[in-house]
Amino acid sequence: MTLPLFTTSSLKEAFAALRSDLLHTDGPKISTMRNYRFAIVSYDPAQEFALRREVRDLTEDLRTGGWFVLPLSLQSLFLERVRNQGDEWVKRATEMERRTSKIDKDRGLTYLKSKIMPLIEGPDGIAADCARVITEHTERHPDQVDRTLALIGRAGAVYPFFRSSALLRHLDGRTANVPVVLLYPGERRGPTALSFMGVLDPDSDYRPRIYP
């Protein structure tokens, strides 16, 4: 069963529920599992700007309540990893992609994936970068762990090179128990399955709560 893509009202509903659970009087309640503070907000990729407004409002509300919101951009982390390969690497990969795309566009994309995906996937990829940023924050502010939210966004910017389905799994045990919410551009298909960007085959390997 395919659930409808988010409407503006359902997006507001998702953030209202998330806000309520984060600000629960007994502490963050985004998960029913102890020591597993991960959640997902799924949204229609076409609603990117509406999502950003909701994120801004949530951030303001949390900060008013004494929270620290730690934004993590998958796009920025992705570009940083590519740049770290050096200008010559980028030049060679770009030129090869252009040549192969002239022969066949799919072949060009396949080549580019073969070069980029090993840099960003797996436990040592972008997940490691997210874990590092969160850990550095908690080491500087150990008293803020229960009132810090790591908000991971801009996942759509790394499509089609990165599937976010494994990201939270690779982060498990590496975030000092800081609540982590992944903003997921895609389509919900059934109770726990999500299709990244509404294009890729649905992945049902999701333990976190999916809002709303």
Query: Nearest-CA neighbor of 137 among 98, 172, 186, 179?
Result: 179
Tell me the two tokens of residue 79.
Answer: 């570009």
Report the residue count for the chain: 212
Find the mean pLDDT for residues 122-133. Answer: 95
Tell me the two tokens of residue 59.
Answer: 């951030």
In three-state secondary structure terms, 186 is strand
pLDDT at 4 over 50: no
Q: Are strands 209-211 and 193-196 parallel, antiparallel or unpaired?
A: unpaired
**Quick one: pLDDT band at residue 7, thresholds 50, 70, 90?**
low
**Quick one: pLDDT band at residue 124, thresholds 50, 70, 90?**
very high
Tell me the two tokens of residue 71.
Answer: 């934004």
CB atoms within 10 A of CB 194: 23
pTM of the predicted model, to two decimals? 0.87
Angle at 89 between CA 87 and CA 90, to 5 degrees: 65
Ramachandran angles phi, psi of 186, nearest 5°: 175, -165
CATH number, domain 8-75+123-211: 3.40.50
In three-state secondary structure terms, 148 is strand
pLDDT tens readout for residues 32-71: 676 788 999 999 999 999 999 999 999 999 999 899 999 9
